[in-house]
Structure 1
């Protein structure tokens, strides 16, 4: 059969329509035989699928779209599975955020207590996805996983499914690179970075634009404005104050620690007090998604069902989908594109343990990722990373072993939580909220 069967796992995501558009943009280079949406939430997926079908009908009606909740149907003979599952949905995301904030700690979907709770919900469902692919998919299948929290999920899969053909990625560094390109007045494709760390916990060490080192120029800009061009700052303050606040925190971190440029998620770990002070328990980011992106796509689906015209371009935003599709294309055709991916360290960062789950540059081949060696990193950054990697490792062990003690140790180690007492209080509330999602902890 010519072309590839591509499955989007988590087909009911509000991002699906945009990813499908990016797949269509590269359909000839990629070679798509058929596209499948798979989700365990039929009602939600069917709603989103109306918009996805409109995108395909508008741009590439020749591509067959199939929508299913049956894993055998979805994964049989699949070549590529793009995984974006959100276990517990936005309802649990909001609960994670609010429980954390009630205890005065960071309420965020991938960092801190919320990230650990989300990770503990996701580990075994991700194992199930791997097992479906092993049973039904092509022997040379690839799972491109960008399900959050990517660091914990990746570490769990390296331990529980070490032979799975899975490549773990995150689009946040690429989003920052896009902001760098805007600042420099160039294209994203002109940017190449050196980077080390964990997922949502890393640093840009060097940035090149068309081969020219622009690191110092960017550092100077970021210390003043964060990751946003001076011309766009006022617009960002109006359109999305949360991101404007994030850019401001990037400026603070870059001023305090001047060796490298931070991933924006470091704000939750290095400035947790400022983040908590800014956050609103009655209007968390999860609530904003429900009232914003989710509402827009649900409204669009309802309008399409009524036969009305809808502006589909509102769902074609960001570099998220383009990055994911580029990774799939490089895996499919052995293109050796250089991307930031999440892999076992195995000596890439010399003074970290081999089993650390690091985010570093790699060349994407049809055999997977070929990591770029980073060398040794300074003591401060090493200490930060080792603490966070230990925290994430304990989360994984807590789930596998059903261990309350290891979950408590993980929550205590996390930099967003100020004390063991608070860690226990948050953990106990999370256990109650996650009944039916977490294994029993003893």
Structure 2
């Protein structure tokens, strides 16, 4: 089996390699190709990855290259984990929106929109090479944010693709710990869009195979679990009780926008913290005595990323037909959205297709927010594919965290100024205006 990772120089990669080494029987890899344009990261991340495989006694071979074609040729599956512009661009995404009194965040709001504009054209370029050179039935597994928009771009272009996020698997582990069971004994009613999701059911399987929804237990104030869940997502316990659901942390940007903005104005950005962590990690990766995943990697984010990735790859390549939470085409699952929109729900995974399972109707407040964000996402993808200031402005205005024309105008100008290096069409538009 050949697996390629586009963006293999990411400091995330040893998390993946650790999972591949530990779970080799579940996902038997003969060749792992790490593809990245950065020569320093290729050397450091590729070096520690090879040492990790050797230390674990993994029989597979790791190749490191900047040649995308060589990396994806005859691959059984290709993972995308790109960050166009690196952490420097992320730092911008987390700061310039503040000039218009809006949150700065790398996956949602104006900053997330900027990331989509930078990312979608590059992902589509690489996906075309996958279609041309990888095995005919190869799948693309996308971990590149914003996952919902990027996955829809891939599907609209005709690629065999699925989006992967670690939010659901993180909740699964958290609930398993709360009820002292194995993570595999927990099944979630996880619904929404990527980074806009709720857990509306938490089903725990007993030793006899029976299941019980323990959400009521989680939301019962007298058990203490409600306060623990609320603290973990940084939202009031009353909100969880009123919704009778556990929202993902990312909903805080919508439910407590002004509080988050005030926090951001007085704290260093997440990008700055990650840059510090990455410097420490790269120093560790350069140390030839390091043959296992460094502890500092836990500070990098992406908890349980390797387990989630291995689960979906094993299910696809092994044609297992099991159920996982993934980003897939709607296809009627949410009747209020178009079939071609990408949603994040439990889905059945086979080599031939990944199919969303039916879900109970969403409550009115969830329908409203999901519909609003989905409308923005469709306009954002149009802007990412076709360019043009008017498309950017319209998508910016449509985002529920913006919603005002004057604010959208200012944010559009800030976005284009900060991202001109990564958006070639902005230069052609400037020439047109000058003429």
Map of 1:21-40 to 2, 5 A cutoff? 21-40=18-37
- Partner residue of 2:433? none
The answer for the alignment partner of 1:215 in structure 2 is: 215
SS in 1 for 2:26: helix
Q: Is the 8 A contact 1:201 1:385 kept in 2?
A: yes
Note the alpha carbon deviations across 1:50-104, whole angstroms, 9 max, x for none: 2212211211352211000011211111111111111111110011111123332
Give the corresponding residue for 1:314.
Answer: 295
> Is 1:16 aligned to residue 2 of structure 2?
no
Candidates 249, 255, 263, aligned match of 2:235: 249
Question: What CA distance in whole angstroms lies between the structure 2 residues aligned with 1:98 and 1:399?
Answer: 21
Matches of 1:27 and 1:271 in 2, distance apart?
A: 43
| Offset, 1:375 | 4.5
Counterparts in 2 of 1:316 and 1:299: CA distance versus 1, 3 Å? closer
1:300 paired to 2:284: yes
- Contact between 1:197 and 1:360, CA under 8 Å: does it hold in 2? yes
Q: Report the counterpart of residue 230 of structure 1 in structure 2.
A: none
Please state whether the residue corresponding to 1:193 is helix, strand or coil. strand
Residue 308 of structure 2 is aligned with which of 320, 323, 333?
323
- Secondary structure class of the residue paired with 1:353: coil
**C-alpha displacement at 1:252, in angstroms?**
5.6
* SS of corresponding position for 1:249: coil
Give, in whole Å, the separation in 2 of the partners of 1:438 and 1:88.
Answer: 11
Where 1:297 maps in the other structure, the secondary structure is helix
Aligned residues of 1:350 and 1:374 also touching (Cα < 8 A): no
Describe the SS at the equivalent of 1:328: helix
Contact 1:337 1:364 (C-alpha < 8 Å) held by counterparts: yes
> Is 1:384 paired with 2:379?
no
- For residue 164 of structure 2, what is the aligned residue in structure 1? 169
Q: How far does the alpha carbon of each residue in 1:346-381 deviate from its partner, in whole angstroms, 9 at most, with x for none?
A: 111233332332111111111131210125323221
Using the alignment, how far apart are the partners of 1:21 and 1:250 within structure 2?
Answer: 36
Q: Note if contact 1:80-1:143 (Cα within 8 Å) is conserved in structure 2.
A: yes
Partner of 2:187: 192
Secondary structure of the corresponding residue to residue 259 of structure 2: helix
- 1:202 paired with 2:197, answer yes
Q: Identify if the C-alpha distance between structure 1 residues 440 and 250 changes in structure 2 by more than 3 Å, giving closer, same or farther.
A: farther
Q: What is the aligned partner in structure 1 of residue 177 from structure 2?
A: 182
d(CA) in 2 for partners of 1:112, 1:416: 6
- What is the correspondence of 1:268-279 to structure 2 with a 5 Å cutoff? 268-279=253-264
Alpha carbons of structure 1 residues 309 and 201: separation in structure 2 relative to 1, 3 Å: closer
Aligned partners of 1:22, 1:333: CA distance in 2, in Å?
17
- Counterpart CA distance in 2 for 1:253 and 1:102 is 29
- Computed over aligned residues only, the root mean square deviation of the Cα atoms, in angstroms, reads 2.0
Matches within 5 A, 1:24-423: 24-159=21-156, 161=157, 163-210=158-205, 211-220=211-220, 221=224, 223-226=226-229, 247-249=233-235, 251=237, 253-255=239-241, 257-280=242-265, 283-292=268-277, 294-304=278-288, 308-309=289-290, 312-314=293-295, 317=298, 318-417=303-402, 419-423=404-408
* Paired residues of 1:205 and 1:260 also in contact (CA < 8 A): yes
TM-score, normalising length from structure 2? 0.90
CA shift, 1:226, in A, is 2.5
Unpaired runs of at least 5, structure 2 = 206-210, 430-435
Shift of 1:315: 6.1
Question: CA 1:259/1:352 → structure 2, altered by over 3 Å: closer, same or farther?
Answer: farther
CA 253–108 in structure 1, closer or farther in 2 if over 3 Å, else same = farther
Deviation at 1:258, TM superposition (A): 2.2
Displacement of 1:316: 6.8
CA contact (8 A) 1:399 1:439 kept: no
- Distance of 1:409 and 1:370 partners within structure 2: 32
Aligned-partner Cα distance in 1 for 2:34–2:266: 33
Distance 1:302 1:252, change over 3 A: farther
Q: Summarize deviations over 1:94-149 as a string: whole Å, max 9, x none.
A: 11111123332111110111111001111111111211111111111111111111
Q: Deviation of residue 17 (structure 1)?
A: 0.3
Q: Secondary structure at the match of 1:140?
A: coil
Compared with structure 1, are the counterparts of its residues 167 and 44 closer, same or farther at alpha carbon in structure 2 (3 Å cutoff)?
Answer: same
